Amino acid sequence: MNYETITVRPLAGALGAEIGGVDLREPLSNRAWSEIHHAFLDHLAIYVRDQELGPADMLRFARHFAEPADYPFVEGMPGFPQIFELRKEPDQKENVGGAWHSDTTYLERPPIGTMLYAREVPAFGGDTMVANQYLAYETLSAGMQAMLDGLVGIYSAGMRRDGGRSGRAENKHMKMRDTDNAESYVAEHPVVRTHPETGKKALYVNTRHTVRFKDMTDEESRPLIDFLQAHCTRPEFTARLRWQKGTIGIWDNRCCQHFAINDYHGQRRVLWRLPVGAELPV
């Protein structure tokens, strides 16, 4: 695509792009939105630097992609219940999102995207990794693809495959809710999902929430889940975002995993988080 109203600078060969030439405090023209949307589909994760935004600005930008969605376990901001803080204080050792995953796959209709806006960042560290799940699927052998096509995963918000639980220690400075009911959040989704806009297939498995495969035991499922997680986050499938204050980003949960790196102990990091869209994986 020839971009006329924005600039697009790829972050890595696998995915990710930095968008320039827009002020998100102002309404987007149809042409600008069309170009941003194209960059989103093409690069899977896009970021805009140096934005001075309020919650209403964030919501307006999000609605170009889809209607904002709800997150079940954290209270939102007053007047903006779907936006909440991801906050790590200097006294914390654990962070939120410190494992490869796609967000809230335990919901029947997970968000199509996750939008983050950096309000306060550490002097160093606190980057986020993203991984291209199209490439993860495409680089599997034909035999493995044939086995995975049609396989259904069981996804849970309760006891996780990586050993943690919802309502865990890294959330202690956030206003949690309904964590006692985490075990009730269970969904079934295809292990290989087809993106409704691009028509491409992507792996949809992660050790944080995929607990087993349908009609298989935990013991039978575990080696394959572990293999797929290691495969789908190979270095050549990834990119790394270095947050700056005023950076807003969104990644496509339908074809992208992410990982919040926990390497900034003793420093404060505050991001606003907004789930975008709710869609049944197919």
Report the alpha-carbon distance of residue 267 to residue 121 in Å, rounded: 8
Q: What is the pLDDT of residue 165?
A: 45
| CATH code at position 140 | 3.60.130.10
Q: What is the pLDDT of residue 1?
A: 78
Domain annotation covers residue 257? yes
Domain annotation covers residue 148? yes
Domain annotation covers residue 34? yes
Domain hosting residue 108, numbered range: 7-276
Q: What is the pLDDT of residues 55-108, one digit of tens each?
A: 999 999 999 999 999 998 888 999 999 999 999 999 999 999 999 999 999 999
Q: Give the number of domains in the chain.
A: 1
Q: What is the pLDDT of residue 182?
A: 83
Instruction: Report whether 39 contacts 22 (CB < 8 A).
Output: no
Active site residues: 101, 103, 258, 273
Domain annotation covers residue 282? no
pTM, entire model = 0.94
Q: What is the pLDDT of residue 181?
A: 75
Q: What is the pLDDT of residues 193-217, one digit of tens each?
A: 999 999 999 999 999 999 999 999 9
Q: What is the pLDDT of residue 178?
A: 67
Domain annotation covers residue 1? no
Residues of the chain with pLDDT under 70: 159-173, 178
Domain annotation covers residue 117? yes
Domain annotation covers residue 2? no
Domain annotation covers residue 202? yes
